[in-house]
A and B are shown apart, each in its own frame.
Chain A
């Protein structure tokens, strides 16, 4: 008898930026939404983040970035994801992102960008839907 699959998320702070309160709040909210969250912490390189996602068989990578280097660093993540066959892994980015960069990030392969002030419930709902779509995993109730 196999068990109900839970959504696994790797949450990471990408690059040189020491502000992790937002990432912790998100990780906690996803835990409260019934997901299994691997929080990898501050100053992670794209290599470290993608390697963690590979070994954990994560359904989702959540990146928090407030340094302004997102257009520089996110392409490294998407490139490494492709190289490591993570094409079906959901990639979400949050942090201080100028609105005009959102479409650029999406064109790079980011599934969604969450701005400051985003609703936590909305984020977890988006993730559940996106995982169902990309990984063919059924949406579970957080009960």
Chain B
């Protein structure tokens, strides 16, 4: 075991932070630590917060942290904001809503840039969740990138999904659409002190109540109202999250979700590698891009990569 991992396991924050960096950059020491931590992980309840940009995801996370800390949990938070497709830089503003929560003991907050991953979550985010779980954080909140209608990747990565919506963003028709309006275990109407809140509540409720299908896992989604800036509805929301957690455990789904998360993590890493293979192939062929030669290069580079992975283990 590396010295860094040892210190991280004792709860030393700077060591945890440095270890997470090594993990997110797939550094060999980080991967070794992740392997160790993954053997100890599997008990944290992972909650995903998703929704459109500006719905109040970060603000509600701040309020959820308070409530979890009050209940004596160790809380890990991973927040993702977009990377620039042009410069690869990122402007991450989620922490601004946390104010002094990060100075609380037992709360560890980490911002992540999406680094080209689409769909709301990234390989890095899932690796950090796995690590925080193994380090003993028993409630983990992951904030997706501001999501659109098809950003449903978060489904197989977390135990409990709360989709945040805000009043005034659409009528019943929007609520009935496929995609993000199907994945929630909870639909949270945030900013519920706005005049259109009741209409949003009713149309979301209709979208759920009118379904005759079997709900995912047999859990009928709950529509809740919150005013995150004032902490209204947060205690009740955490009560319901805990209820969902017990439900998943009683059905044996809690464990299954962790398996799904690990599969997803590997899938995202493989996909990222494919992107790199393609980039390299394009580089090799850049004089004249023709489909067949490009495919041949991809095949060759991919073969080299697989051989390399084989040698490493």
Contact = CB atoms under 8 A, between A and B. Distances in A.
Contacts of B83: 36
B189 to A, nearest CB: 26
Contacts of B197: none
B91 A37 contact: yes
B273 A39 contact: no
B89 interface: yes
Given A2-B26, A3-B25, A48-B102, A57 B20 contact: yes
B88 interface: yes
Interface string A19-56: 00000000110111111111111000101100110111
Contacts, number: 94
Contacts of B305: 1
A1 B14 contact: no
Chain A contact surface mostly: mixed
A57 B18 contact: yes
B90 A85 contact: no
B109 interface: yes
A40 B88 contact: no
A6 interface: yes
Nearest to A27: B91
Interface string B72-100: 00000000000110011111110110011
Interface residues of A, number: 33
A28 B91 contact: yes
Given A54-B14, A56-B17, A37 B102 contact: no
Given A39-B96, A48-B102, A31 B90 contact: yes
B87 A31 contact: yes
B108 interface: yes
Contact of B27 (A2, A39, A45): A2
Interface of B: 13-14, 16-18, 20-21, 25-28, 83-84, 87-93, 95-96, 99-100, 102-103, 108-111, 113, 273, 276, 305, 308
9 closest cross-chain pairs (CB), A and B: A41-B96, A31-B89, A57-B17, A31-B91, A57-B21, A36-B90, A34-B89, A34-B87, A36-B113
